[in-house]
Amino acid sequence: MASQFRGSTVVVALASAVISVLVTVAVVTRTSNRFSQADAPPRTADGKPDFSGIWQALNEAHWDLEAHEARPGAVMQQGVYPYEYARVPAAPVLALGAAAGVPGSVGVVGDDGKIPYKPEAAKIKTENGEHWIDRDPELKCYLPGIPRAMYMPYPFQIVQSANKIQVAFAFSTAARTIHLDDVEGPPDLTYMGHSAGRWDSDTLVVDVTEFNGRNWFDRAGNYHSEALHLTERFTPISKDAIQYEVTIEDPNVFTRPWKISMPLYRRLEPNAQLLEYRCMEFAEEFMYGGLRKQPLVHHWEGETLIVDIKRKAIERDKLHDWYRR
Amino acid sequence: MSRTLFQVLGVAAVLLLVVLLLQFARAPLDAEAPAAGASPATAWGEPDLQGIWTRTTNEPLQRPARFKDREFLTDEERAEFNNKISDIVGRESDENRRPRGTEQDVSGGYSAAVFTSHLPVGRRTSMIVDPPDGRIPALTAQEQNKRNDLREYAFALLQATDVCKNKLLACTGWKYGPPSARRAQVPPSYIMEGIVGGGGGGINRSDGPEDRILSERCLSSSLPDFGGFRRIVQSKGQVAIFYDVGQGQGWQRIIPISASPHLPATVRLWWGDSRGRWEGNTLVVDVTNFSPKSNFQGAHENLHLVERWTRTDAETLQYTVTIEDATVWTGPWTVTLDLKKQDDKANRIYTEPRCHEGNYGLATMLAGAREDERAFVAGRGPDPATKCLAGCGGFAGGFAEEGDDANPIR
C-alpha cells in the first residue's frame, strides 16, 4: 500500500510535468518565440499585439531628427569669439540659463543619417532653422502632425480595439484614429493625416496620407509638403517597448524615401495618467500679445515682438553660495 | 491494465480538466464580471459602447413653463413645432427681416437661422429629467449675488451702446447712459460669458484675449456636453471618447476603468478628472477636479458629475448625467439624452479643420478694437465705448430672442 502510493505520486508528478510543458509550449507558440514568458508583449483577445497604454519617446528627435551635438541655446547669436562653435544663447532664451540648451543626439535617421533633401528644399530647411521661433508650428500650439506627435516630449495614450486604434496626445490635445476597417477619408487635407492600418504578422503597419503640408518634423526646421506619405511600422520589442519605424516619402521635398526608427517606451508609473496640455491658451500671448490694449511685453513693433531680457544678476560675493541665504 | 496506470490517467484527466476550466474562466475573471445581458460585449467581456454617436432629435435643456409637469410631447405637437421651425428658416431668406443699418445686423442679428441646422423636435419637453419639473434648481444665495455683480459689470460696459439706447432686449434691466468708468476695471470673474445678451455673449470690451469668450479663443467645449458627435473606442480598462463639437473645438478624454482615487485637488483640468467603473452594462464615470477656467452653466471648479452610459438597444446609447455644485445650485440635477449610432464607414466625425489653426477671428477682433481706439483719438470715429462688440443680443441657437422668429418651443 505504502509503496503503491509512493509510486502513483511519482507518476502523477511526471504527468503534471508533461502537461505543464505542453501548456507552456502552447502558450509560447501562441505568443511568439522571441520573448520569454515574462517579457511577452500583451495581446488582444484576437491574438494581436496590444499597444494599449501610455507611451512616450525618450530621445532628442523632437529637437532634430539628424545627429547633432549639444548647443548652448535653442536660439543663439554670434559670440564674442567669431567661431560657429562659440555662439552664445540669444535673448529669447537667455534668462533660462543652462535650461535653455539643446541636448545632443546620435540621430534617428537611417542609412547615412542624412535627410535626402532636394537642393532647393535644403535651402528652405536651413531658413526654417534660422527662423525657428517665427516658423515652427509647435510654438503656436498647432496640431503637431505625424510622425512628429509620436516623439514630442509629451506622453500619448493608445486605446486599441479590433477595428479602431485611438491615439490621444497630451500636446495640444491632438487626436488620431488609426482605421483598421474600411472607411471614407477626410473631406479635406489635414494636419494629422488619415491613418489606415493593417497587421503584418506582429507588426502594425499604418499608411498615413492626406496631409496639408503645414507641419514640421522637429525644431530644427525639417519639413515636408502635402505630398507626404508615411508608412509606419509598430513592432513590439518587449512588453514595455515598441520599435517605431517610419518610411517617409515626399517627392516634392526629398530625392528618395528615407527612414527614421526609435523605440517608444511604456510609462510604467502605477498612477500614470495622460493630463491635458491645452496649449492654445499658453500661446495666446505669443500670438496675440501685440494686439492688447496695454501689451504685457512693451517692445512690439507692428507684428514683431522684440524680447528684452531683464534678470537681476547674482551679487558677486554670493555667486557660489547663494543657496546658503 | 494495472491499477496504477488507471490512477495516473485519472489524475492526468483531472489536471487537464482543471487547466481547461482555468482557461475558460480567465476572461470573465479579468473583466471584473460585468453581466453581458442583451447588450453587445467586447471580445474581452466588457460592455461594448463603441462607434460614432449623436443626438438625432432636439429637446430644450429646461422645460418651458407652459408644459409644467408634462414630460412628453404628442406626435401632433412635434409635427406642428417642426413645421413652425421650417417656416422660420424659410423666412430668413427675406432681406427685409434683417435689422439693416444697425450694429445688430453685423454682430449676430443677421439671418443666423439659415446657418443653424435644426434637428427634428424630440419627444421630451426637456433634457432635464430631475428635478421632476425639468428645470435647473434655484441658484444659491451666494451664486445669485455673484451673478448680480457680474451683470452689473457687463451692463455698465453695454450702457453707452445702441443696445441700451434703443432699449433692445439685451439691455433689459439696465438703462442707457454715458460710457462707464468700469470699462477700465478688471472684470469680476475670469468667465464673463452668458451673463448678458443671451447666446453666450461676453463683455463689451476687447482689451486682450481674456476679454473674449472661450469659444472665440478656441477654448470652448466643456463637460458635460449635449451636442455634436462622439467617437467611442475601447480597450480593456480604457474608454476613449472624442467629442466632435463646437466648430473645430473638439476634444477627447480617456476614461480609465479604475478604482484609484482622483488626482490631488491641486491639479485642475478643463475637462475634469474621470474615473470609470462598470455597473452591469452601464459605464459609470465620476468627474471632479475641474478648473476655475472651465465653465458649465456658470459652474467652475466645484462641479461634480456622475455620468451613466448605457446601450439600451443596438442603435441607442443613453447618456445620463447628474450635475452638482453646492456653491452654485441648491440641489443636483439630471439630464438624459438618447444618442443614436452612426455609420462607421461614412466616418463623419471630424477632428479637423480645427478652430485654433485658423483663428483669424480673435486676432482681427483685437486688431479692430485697437483701430477703433486710434480712430477715436484721431477724431475719425466714435468713442469705442459706444460700440457694441459682444453681449449685444440677437440670434441664439438659430432663433430670434423674441417675436415670430423666436424658438416656438420656448
How far is A88 from B31, CA to CA, in rounded Å?
57
Question: Nearest by CB to A161, which of B7, B234, B357?
Answer: B234
C-alpha cell at position A4: 503503491
Cell 482557461, located at residue: B23
Residues contacting A44, CB < 8 A, separation 6+ = A50, A160, A162, B43, B44, B235
Closest Cα in chain A, distance from residue B359 (Å): 11
Q: What is the mean pLDDT of residues A143-161?
A: 98
Question: What is the per-residue pLDDT for B17?
Answer: 41
pLDDT category at A99 given cuts 50, 70, 90 is very high
C-alpha cell at position B42: 467586447
Considering only alpha carbons, which residue of chain B is nearest residue A184?
B346
Cell 491658451, located at residue: A281
SS3 A240: coil
**Record: contact B4-A7, CB cut-off 8 A:** yes
**Record: contact B363-A288, CB cut-off 8 A:** yes
Question: Nearest by CB to A52, which of B7, B8, B236?
Answer: B236
Higher pLDDT: A8 or B209? It is B209
Interface of B with A in 8-47 (CB under 8 A): 8, 11-12, 15-16, 19, 27, 42-44
Mean pLDDT of chain B: 87
Mean pLDDT of chain A: 89
Higher pLDDT: B214 or A22? It is B214
Q: What is the mean pLDDT of residues B178-187?
A: 96
Least confident of A43-47, A100-104, B105-109: B105-109
Higher pLDDT: B375 or B89? It is B375
Cβ contacts from A onto B, under 8 A: 157
ipTM passes above 0.90: no
Q: What is the pLDDT of residues B190-201, one digit of tens each?
A: 999 888 876 667
Angle between helices B3-30 and A2-30 (to 10 degrees): 40
Closest Cα in chain B, distance from residue A163 (Å): 9
Considering only alpha carbons, which residue of chain B is nearest residue A274?
B254
Considering only alpha carbons, which residue of chain B is nearest residue A52?
B235
pLDDT value at A25 more than 50: no
Contact A277, A264 (CB under 8 A): no
Q: Is B262 on the interface with A (CB under 8 A)?
A: no
Mutate to test the interface with B, among A5, A6, A8, A208 (most CBs of B within 10 A): A8
Q: Is B347 on the interface with A (CB under 8 A)?
A: yes
Q: What is the pLDDT of residues B282-300, one digit of tens each?
A: 999 999 999 999 999 999 9
How far is A214 from B237, CA to CA, in rounded Å?
36
Q: What is the pLDDT of residues B298-354, one digit of tens each?
A: 999 999 999 999 999 999 999 999 999 999 999 999 999 999 999 999 999 999 999
Question: What is the per-residue pLDDT for B19?
Answer: 38
pLDDT value at A266 more than 50: yes
Question: What is the per-residue pLDDT for B97?
Answer: 55
Question: What is the per-residue pLDDT for A31?
Answer: 44
Question: What is the per-residue pLDDT for A37?
Answer: 81
Whole-model pTM?
Answer: 0.88
User: What residues of A are in contact with residue B217 (Cβ under 8 Å)?
Assistant: 280-281, 284
Mutate to test the interface with B, among A24, A51, A164 (most CBs of B within 10 A): A164
Contact B172, B198 (CB under 8 A): no
Q: Is B345 on the interface with A (CB under 8 A)?
A: yes
Q: What is the pLDDT of residues B120-144, one digit of tens each?
A: 999 999 999 999 999 999 999 999 9
Question: What is the per-residue pLDDT for A70?
Answer: 96
Question: What is the per-residue pLDDT for B107?
Answer: 64
Q: Which segment, A291-300, B65-74, B322-331, is predicted with the most confidence on average?
A: B322-331
**Record: contact B363-A278, CB cut-off 8 A:** no
Among the listed residues B229, B202, B268, B44, the one whose alpha carbon sits nearest the alpha carbon of residue B119: B229
Cell 500614470, located at residue: A272
pLDDT value at B116 more than 90: no
Provide, rounded to the nearest whole percent, the portion of chain B with pLDDT above 70.
84
User: What residues of A are in contact with residue B234 (Cβ under 8 Å)?
Assistant: 159, 161
Quick one: DSSP state of residue A241?
A: E
Question: What is the per-residue pLDDT for B169?
Answer: 85
Contact B255, B363 (CB under 8 A): no
Question: What is the per-residue pLDDT for B194?
Answer: 84
Question: What is the per-residue pLDDT for B196?
Answer: 83
Least confident of A36-40, B230-234, B375-379: A36-40
Q: What is the pLDDT of residues A220-252, one digit of tens each?
A: 999 999 999 999 999 999 999 999 999 999 999
Q: What is the pLDDT of residues B46-61, one digit of tens each?
A: 999 999 999 999 999 9
Question: What is the per-residue pLDDT for A207?
Answer: 98
Provide, rounded to the nearest whole percent, the portion of chain B with pLDDT above 90.
71
Considering only alpha carbons, which residue of chain A is nearest residue B274?
A273
Least confident of A15-19, A111-115, A213-217, B6-10: B6-10
